[in-house]
Amino acid sequence: MPTPPCPTPMDLTMHTMAQAQPELSLTIGAFLHLEGPVPPLVDLRAHISAHLARLPRLTHYLKGPGLRARWARDPNPDLQLRVRERQIEPGEASLDLARQDLLTHPLPTDGPPWDLWLLHGHAPGRFTLCYRAHHTAQDGSGFLHTLYELFGAAPADTPARATSAAPAPRARIGDYARTLKGMVASAASNNLWNDPARPLTGARLSSWAHAPSDVMRTAAAARGGSTNDAVLAALAAALGTWSIEHWPRGAGRPMPAVMMVNLRQPEETYLPGNLFTFAPVLLPCHEATAAARLDSVVAATRESKNPARRAAMRTITDHTPAWAFHTLATQLTAPARAIIDTSYVPLGPLQYQDTPVSNVDLFTWLPRNHPVSILTYSYNGTTSAYVVTDQALPGIDRLPELWAQAATQLATPE
C-alpha 103/C-alpha 94 separation (Å) is 15
For the chain, give me the number of helices (H) and strands (E)? 12, 14
**In this structure, what are the phi and psi dihedrals at residue 128, rounded to the nearest 5 degrees?**
-130, 135
The edge-to-edge listing of strands for the beta sheet with 351-352 is 83-87, 114-120, 126-134, 27-35, 355-363, 351-352
The Cα angle at residue 304 between residues 299 and 306, in degrees rounded to 5? 100
Q: What is the DSSP letter of 381?
A: T
Closest CA to 33 of 110, 118, 155: 118
- pLDDT of amino acid 156: 53
3-class secondary structure, 312: helix
Integer angstrom CA distances of residue 43 from 49, 299, 364:
10, 49, 28
Residue 296 parent element (H or E): helix 290-301
Residues ≥6 apart with Cβ < 8 Å to 408: 211, 212, 215
Closest CA to 304 of 213, 216, 175, 203: 175
- pLDDT of amino acid 411: 77
Positions of the chain with pLDDT lower than 70, given as ranges: 1-3, 154-168, 413-414
Cβ neighbour number for residue 63 with a 10 Å cutoff: 13
CB 237 within 8 A of CB 402: yes
pLDDT tens profile 156-168: 554 334 334 445 5
- pLDDT of amino acid 1: 58
The Cα angle at residue 387 between residues 114 and 129, in degrees rounded to 5? 35
Residue 260 parent element (H or E): strand 255-262
- pLDDT of amino acid 165: 45
